[in-house]
Amino acid sequence: MVAQKTHGKHKKRIQMRISLLLLLVFTMFPAKGQEISIKCDCTSFIHWKNVDTSTFNGNSDLEKLFRTEVLCDNDEYMILRDSSDYFLIKRTDYAKSKTDTFIISQKPVWIKKQGIVCTYTQHDPNQIFTIYSQPDLNSEKLFERRLVVKEFGTLMIIKNCIKDWLKVMITINGKRMEGWIKKVNSCPLKCTTCT
């Protein structure tokens, strides 16, 4: 009887060690491109016209989003995390296609960075649009002025995201710039002004 108890305790210790070892392995060797990820709190849209089908990489949830033609007022995605090659995104609401209303999978999906996660400039004539060299209000200002009406809704490709900061690539008056903006300077919705 004592031998059975000792054997049972020994078996539990081995199972626990195996579990800890597996946890360490999966923590130390995450999926390629998702090694280190930073928490984000920004919204975006996916520029589906530029999607290369290799982006899906067998991800059926992401492919389902692509295959569904959605009306413009329901195409907002939350960027939850940013890694070296991927964004972790999540649909923020219900979607209505041309034929039916349905619930988009609420499961977050990793999407490869290929210049397809985007946003627009804010539609606010009173707001000063500023691009910073770093995600810090005290860093160098690379660009700062009020946008004119024709510049409202200018496309910005999201390169990185840290908390409520977006690193974007934008072209204004033929000049291409890259830098950091606060999320309040962006609007991911095609059909509204976000103001």
Q: Are 147 and 121 in contact (CB under 8 A)?
A: yes
Please report the pLDDT score of residue 27 as a whole number: 36
Fold of 118-187: SH3 type barrels. (2.30.30)
Number of residues written out for the chain: 195
Query: What is the spatial distance between Cα 45 and Cα 27, in angstroms, rounded to a whole number?
Result: 30
- The residue ranges of every structural domain in the chain are 1-30, 38-115, 118-187
Please report the pLDDT score of residue 170 as a whole number: 95
The neighbour count for residue 194, using CB atoms within 10 Å, is 17
For 67-91, letters b (16+ CB in 10 Å) and e give eeebeeebbbbbbbbbbeebbbbeb
Per DSSP (E only), the strands in 6-140 are 38-46, 77-82, 86-91, 95-96, 101-102, 109-112, 117-121, 128-132
In the three-class reduction of DSSP (H, G, I as helix; E, B as strand; rest coil), residue 16 is classed as helix
Q: Are 110 and 87 in contact (CB under 8 A)?
A: yes
159: left (phi over 0), alpha (psi -120 to 50) or beta: alpha
Please report the pLDDT score of residue 100 as a whole number: 54
* Residue-wise DSSP of 125-181: TTSEEEEESSSSTTSPEEEEEEPPGGGTT-EEEEEEEEBTEEEEEEEETTEEEEEEE
Q: Per-residue pLDDT for the chain (195 aa), expressed as one digit of tens each?
A: 545 555 666 676 776 666 555 443 333 334 444 456 788 888 888 777 766 666 655 566 666 666 554 545 446 788 999 988 888 888 766 555 555 544 455 678 888 888 888 898 987 888 899 999 999 999 999 999 988 888 888 889 999 999 899 999 999 989 999 999 999 889 887 666 676
**The token pair that represents 99 in the structure block:** 């034929």
Count of alpha carbons within 13 angstroms of residue 16, beta-carbon side: 6
**How much is the pTM?**
0.69
Helix (H) or strand (E) holding 187: strand 186-187
Please report the pLDDT score of residue 84 as a whole number: 86
